Amino acid sequence: MSGTVQWGVREAGDLGAALAALSGRFHNRLSTAQAVREQHGHTTTWHDNMPPDAVVFAQSTEDVVDVVKICAEHRVPIIPFGTGTSLEGQVNAPYGGISIDLSQMDQVLDVHAEDLDCVVQPGVTRKRLNEELRATGLFFPIDPGADASIGGMVGTRASGTNAVRYGTMKDNVLALKAVMADGSVIHTGTRAKKSSAGYDLTRLLVGSEGTLGIVTEITLKLHGIPEAVAGGVCPFQTLEDACNAVIATIQSGIPVARIELLDDLQVRASNAYSKLELREVPTLFLEFHGTEAGVKEQSELFGEIAEDLGGGPFEWADDPDVRARLWQARHDAYFADLYLRPGVDGVATDVCVPISRLAECILATKADIDRLGLVAPIVGHVGDGNFHVSVMVDMDDKAEVARVESFMEALVERAIAMDGTCTGEHGVGHGKTKYLDAELGGAVDVMKTIKKALDPLNILNPGKIVRI
């Protein structure tokens, strides 16, 4: 796929000198082994693996500062790496350079339960964080499919199944410590819940995919584990009915915590992979958070909407273990899909539209899938108007690849025409740079100006989001 990308020109730095300096500073925490390099160019989806020239395993902000200073001196790219689960080539190294692996910076530094916040290093994964929080009665809600690192989730402005209720990373990061392109270390905010003190650098860095600075500490908002949780699955006769149930739920203001769509093919894939026994029809997975009375009320309201649309019966999952299995299956959807057509690659797309256009957008997409004969289940965080199509592609079949590419382009164009976005949560990486202009036009020039100003040597993850 990388052959289709216009990479632009980036003057090569002095890699040899950088490697010598890094070796002197980091010794065996610098690796140039082929396998390590390839693992750090890994990406979950179909983009080519573009390994960095070397990997440094950082253990502190000071380590990151030193890598940045050495790379700046020798004009060598730096690509931050968390768990390698990004989907748009964010950790690839199209210009070579140094991957800075942050997975050993994995400490939860402070939990301020009384203020509903905590401070973590970027290598902490979302599941580890919630394990550490268990005793506090608090949790961190953002849950992309993979057990991603918090640093990576900051980078892509990640969200997931709970975003409809709890927001995305944009809404749940209070402040960041970051190493900028000149090696300076900044704090972008405080633990105050709100502030009007200057430009919102926190949210400028959230979603910047390591192109403006490398995040080394994150202050996160936490939420109380709800007194009551209820949920289950609700089948529908048609995809349209399922979508319309979602639209009605959101428009009614029911504060649903999770409302996820799986189309019939996805239910089939998940039944097989996750050992579920669901009817293979379009299905919503739901969860309600609140007090005992509150979740009862919410779920009754939803039940009425579903019934009006010919959906149901809503099957309750009272047992927390059963619920956990359902949600694990939802998180594993992408991996389940790969078994629908073993041996091929999966392309995870990710668009988001205003909720009123959800049914129309999904149905037109499904029609394209059927017309093109693609194996491509649809899943989505539909309460936010966000959905994914996982297209199974034989990368050796050039005609099929071209067909899938034009399908994806049509999908993105449709979403943008509906006043939506080319990516709800996966980010831009190098996979979606070509869509930014169509979506945001002149705003992309402003992004380039910011990138040039904050990273004049273009050493921070060059080639991602914007090309300068």
CB 43 within 8 A of CB 91: yes
Give, as ranges, the residues between 351 and 370 that touch a second copy (CB under 8 A). 352-356
244 touches a second copy by CB under 8 A:
no
Give, as ranges, the residues between 96 and 155 that touch a second copy (CB under 8 A). 112, 114-117
192 touches a second copy by CB under 8 A:
yes
Task: Look at residue 139 and give its three-state secondary structure.
Answer: strand
Q: Give the CA-trace dihedral at 147, 136, 231, 346, to 10 degrees.
A: 0
Query: Which CB sits closer to a second copy, 227 or 397?
Result: 227
Give, as ranges, the residues between 287 and 326 that touch a second copy (CB under 8 A). 290-291, 293-294, 297
203 touches a second copy by CB under 8 A:
yes
Phi, psi of 55 (to 5 degrees): -125, 135
Near a second copy by CB under 8 A: residue from 83, 92, 125, 208? 208
Give, as ranges, the residues between 248 and 267 that touch a second copy (CB under 8 A). 250-253
443 touches a second copy by CB under 8 A:
yes
Near a second copy by CB under 8 A: residue from 263, 287, 368, 384? 384
Near a second copy by CB under 8 A: residue from 20, 272, 367, 446? 446
Within 8 A by CB and 6+ apart from 191, the residues are 112, 115, 117, 174, 175, 219
Give, as ranges, the residues between 36 and 55 that touch a second copy (CB under 8 A). none
380 touches a second copy by CB under 8 A:
no
Near a second copy by CB under 8 A: residue from 69, 191, 403, 434? 191
CB 253 within 8 A of CB 160: no
Give me the helices (H) in 27-168, please. 34-40, 61-74, 126-133, 150-156, 163-166
Closest CA to 23 of 54, 65, 51: 54
CB 167 within 8 A of CB 157: no
Closest CA to 210 of 392, 466, 24, 3: 466
Binding piece for a second copy, criterion CB under 8 A, among 57-65, 92-100, 313-321, 450-458: 450-458
Near a second copy by CB under 8 A: residue from 212, 256, 259, 317? 212
Binding piece for a second copy, criterion CB under 8 A, among 62-70, 220-228, 259-267, 273-281: 220-228
Give, as ranges, the residues between 413 and 442 that touch a second copy (CB under 8 A). 415-416, 419-428, 432, 435-436, 439-442
Phi, psi of 131 (to 5 degrees): -65, -45
From the CB of residue 114, how many other CB atoms can be counted at a distance below 10 Å? 7
